[in-house]
Each structure stands twice: as structure tokens, then as C-alpha cells.
Amino acid sequence: MIPINTARTPVIIGVGQSVLRDLPTSAADLPSVESMAASACDAALADTTASDVARQIDTIAFVRLVSDCFTPSPPIFGRCDNPPWALARRIGSQPKRAIYTEIGGQAPQNLVHEASNRIAAGTSELVLLSGAEVTGAMKHALRNGWEIPEAEKVDGQVDDRDRGIELISAYEAANGLTLPPDVYGIFENAWRHEQGRDRTSHNQYMAEMLASFSKVATCNPYAQFPVERDVEFLATPSADNYHVADPYLKWSIAQDAVNQGAAVIIASVAKARELGVPEEKWVYPLSGADAADKLVIHRPSLSQSSAMTAAINQCLATVDKTTDSIQHMDLYSCFPCAVQFACDALGFDPMTQQLTQTGGLAFFGGAGNNYTMHAITSLVETLREDPGSLGLIVANGGYLSKASAGLYSTAPEGGWLPADNKILQMQLEAIPDVEIADATEPGKIESYGLLYHKNQPTMGYVLCRTTRGERFAARTEAQDFSTLQTLLNDDPIGEQVRPRVTDTCNLFALS
């Protein structure tokens, strides 16, 4: 644990956001991720009310772009090969350290932990965290056939953390578990079945939960989709709310067609005073914890998140807080089950508490890996308006693969107290893996999902447990409409299937 040193206590001194709702009418007006990030940084710098802040920043960290989460990276207009230094050049900064994060929605909260640790240790004084996405404008440009400008070339040494831990295995991908809606559908159906709910009642439950998020987004000036969507709309399939993957309709999951940027400036108390930042602007990171889970195929349970639960519990325990002391929060909401699993860990009823500061990833916007930077900026503004209250951020990356949790307040409490993530991770890794079955024996369906294309189911997939407790994954054969209809109309969890093993995957069928 880093000893408390008041002068080196980390404090957030500035936050800012940017959004572009009106799509450009020509290629010349297309935004870049760096320009969106720079707009947010300019707002954060102005928020400090201090002068000459940009020049004194010693570290800039940029959250990894969605377009850099794939190999090879798809072309994206206005993208440069060195986002941290492109941003630095735009705001007039010459940092000693530049970071480009790994993949995952946990990255912004994890950066707060890293920056706070460096400041507390005396190796940094002034840190800028930022990120942006312009996927909405990119899709608009591609639909219009506009030429995509060449990538911007910027020099400067950068700590590029690449992809990070493995999120999905080749075995899982071959058997239908590839994209987030596919995998989260597995979690969602497992939780629904465990609660004894049928499809209809759970669909209504998700809609009621998400309607409260939509209301918050309508009041947020930085929301990408500030239109209130009520329970009836969210629960009903329609042309604007079509099936994506069972059990999800379009507006129940993160929307990536956003043009948004966010920035957070963290300083030592000594630096904040030197800059003359008013103390009413200060918000202290109090504690933070990070955890990573196993690959989905190896997890003991599909109806909860071990990483999220561990990160939340350790974050609270480190500063001797309980869930009852949390007045404000933002729970990562890429899919309803992510919110539910955080609520389960906290002991909260999602129908009785405000769980978002922004409006969530479906209605505020799913700004790639950078969403939580927006959540942090919004929470900081809320805490300034409610001095002394306690705020919680819960961030999620991958397929509930990585979790970061952080506590914030305008009251410094005992200073920055980070959790011991090494011990936390050792405890998680000590949990025995569920082994992969050789798929030559039958197994009972543990959970399942359906993938859609143009509102029609095209592929089903299952995770099954054998009598020995091992697990296998399998997918439907092409054109097996009978099995697709069974998955669509019935609840197959608990049914026994015997997979057919091929050279590339496991196939299953239901009569």
C-alpha cells in the first residue's frame, strides 16, 4: 500500500465532454477521434479555471479505439497511428509519458487507478486521461461512399498496450461465441432461467430497467440519443427495435454509432494548489480495484460475474465502506445482465435506484472502450453538486472479462487507498476451471443464444454440461430451421443434447 502523503494525494481537477449529434453533410466536415478528444480536453482544461495547465501535463493516456481492437484494423477516417501524441499536439502539451491502453471498457477506470498510484508515489503530478469515438460519422461516411482520408502520422514514443488478455478462445469462436451480443445472450438466458422467469416476463423486466436509463439520457446534453424510450417501446419488436441476438432487441444493448469524447485531469493536491484550482472543483479518487475473469468456457457460473463482484467488494473493503454508503453510481450497461450482475454484487434492486449518471450505453451512447470516461466526468459533476457524498463507478471489459471499480468523493477521507490487485487476482485464479469436454458424450444445456440477421434467426449456440461437470459448446448446422424455432419458442435449458463433432466445430440439433 502506498503511504498517505497529503501533498501527493491524487485529485480530479477538471472534466470535459464533447458530442456531435448532427451528421456532416460532406466528407470535409467529418470529425476525427483526435478532434473529438481535443474538444473534450479543452473543456476539461477550462473546467479547472487555471491557466497554462496543458503545458505542465506529464502524462497523457488515450483509451484504445474500437477500430484498433481488431486485426487487421479496419480503415477509419481521420484516425492517426499515435492517438496520445496527436492529442498532445492539438492541446499544446509535451508529456513525458504517453499511453495507449489495452482493449476493454474497464480501461478508463483502470487509468484512474494507475494515474492515482503514480501521483501518490511521486512519479507524476499532472495526468490527462482521454478518449473518443466517431463510429457514427464513420458509418455515415461509408453509407455515402465518401473517401476516407489517410491516417495521420504523428511521431512520439508511446506505451502501446495492445490487446491485453485473451477475451475469447478459438474453440468458443468456432462454436458460435464470437461477438458481444452472442456471449452476453448466454449470460442473460442463464440468469433468467436461474430466476425462474420465462421469456416474456424477462423481456418486460429488461425493458423496465432500461426505461429508467433512457430518462436520464434525455436530460444529458452529451447523450448521443436523448430520446425517451418507454417500457412498451423497449419491450416490443419493431422496425426501429429489431432483434439482434436472443434475448436482445436493438435498444436494449450498447449503441456504437456515436461521436463522443471525454477527458479527465488528475493532479496531486500540491499541483492543484500550485495551479490555483478552486477546491470546490476537487473530487478525490478514494479507492480502486481491478480484476480479470477466466475465459467464458471455463467459468464455474454463467449467471454472475466473479471479476465484477471481486472488484466491487475489494474496492469497498479497502476503505471500509459498505454499499449503504453509496449515494451515486454508474454501473456499466452494455447489456442488461452487466447491470444486473453489478446489482447482485451490491445487493441493489435495479428497479429502485438510479444506476447511471449518463443514461447508459444504449441511450447516452456506447462510446467504445471510452464510455466509462464519460461516466466518471458525469459522476464528478454530480459529486460537486452534492459535497461529501460517495460515488461508485463499475466498469466492464470484454465478455465480463475485466472489471474495474472505483470510489469518489469531494471529501478526501484517508487519501488514495488502492486495493491489492495481485492478491485479488490470485484468489480469482485459484478458482478451479470448468474443463472442456471432448464432446463425445451428451450434456444438458446450461444456456443458449440465437443470432439474428435482418430480424431473422440464423444460428443458435449452446453451452452444455456433462455428467462429469465438464462443458462443451456447440452451434446449429446451417439451414436447421427446426432447431432455430425450438430455441426461439421454447426454453431449452436443461434439455440433453449429443453434439456431432466436425473438423471445425461441434454441431447440435433439437427435435
Conformational region of residue 78, where left means phi above 0, alpha means psi within -120 to 50, and beta covers everything else: left
* 340 and 458 co-located in one domain: no
* CB-count burial class (<10 Å; 0-12, 13-18, 19+) for 21: middle
Q: What confidence score (pLDDT) does residue 1 get? A: 39
* CA distance linking residue 149 with residue 152, whole number of Å: 9
Lookup: cell for 346: 451490491
Does 362 fall in a domain?
yes
Looking at 366, 398, 429, which one is the last position of a domain? 429
* 423 and 447 co-located in one domain: no
Does 344 fall in a domain?
yes
Q: What confidence score (pLDDT) does residue 162 get? A: 87
Looking at 429, 459, 493, which one is the last position of a domain? 429
The structure's pTM equals 0.96
CA dihedral sign of residues 38, 43, 44, 48: positive
* 127 and 52 co-located in one domain: yes
Does 36 fall in a domain?
yes
Does 180 fall in a domain?
no
Q: What confidence score (pLDDT) does residue 74 get? A: 58
Lookup: cell for 139: 458509418
Residue 161 is part of a domain; what is its CATH number? Answer: 3.40.47.10
Residue 501 is part of a domain; what is its CATH number? Answer: 2.40.50.840
Successive 10-residue mean pLDDT values, the chain, 511 residues: 70 99 89 94 99 98 88 60 94 98 97 98 98 93 84 86 89 95 98 97 98 98 98 98 97 97 98 97 98 98 98 97 98 99 98 97 97 99 98 98 98 92 95 92 96 93 97 95 94 95 95 74
* 483 and 367 co-located in one domain: no
Looking at 398, 429, 460, which one is the last position of a domain? 429
Lookup: cell for 105: 471498457
* 462 and 328 co-located in one domain: no
* 301 and 154 co-located in one domain: yes
* 406 and 481 co-located in one domain: no
Q: What's the domain count of the chain?
A: 2
* 347 and 494 co-located in one domain: no
Q: What is the 3-state secondary structure (H, E, C) of 426-482?
A: HHHHCCCCCCECCCCCCEEEEEEEEEEECCEEEEEEEEEECCCCCEEEEEECCCCHH
Does 237 fall in a domain?
no
* 424 and 464 co-located in one domain: no
Does 338 fall in a domain?
yes
* Cis omega (within 30 of 0) for bond into 247: yes
* 386 and 499 co-located in one domain: no
* 264 and 392 co-located in one domain: yes
Does 18 fall in a domain?
yes
Question: Cα angle vertex 344, ends 340, 349, to 5°?
Answer: 75
Amino acid letter at 14?
G
* 42 and 81 co-located in one domain: yes
Does 191 fall in a domain?
no
Which secondary structure element, helix H or strand E, spans residue 289, and what is its range? strand 284-292
Which domain range does residue 470 map to? 443-508
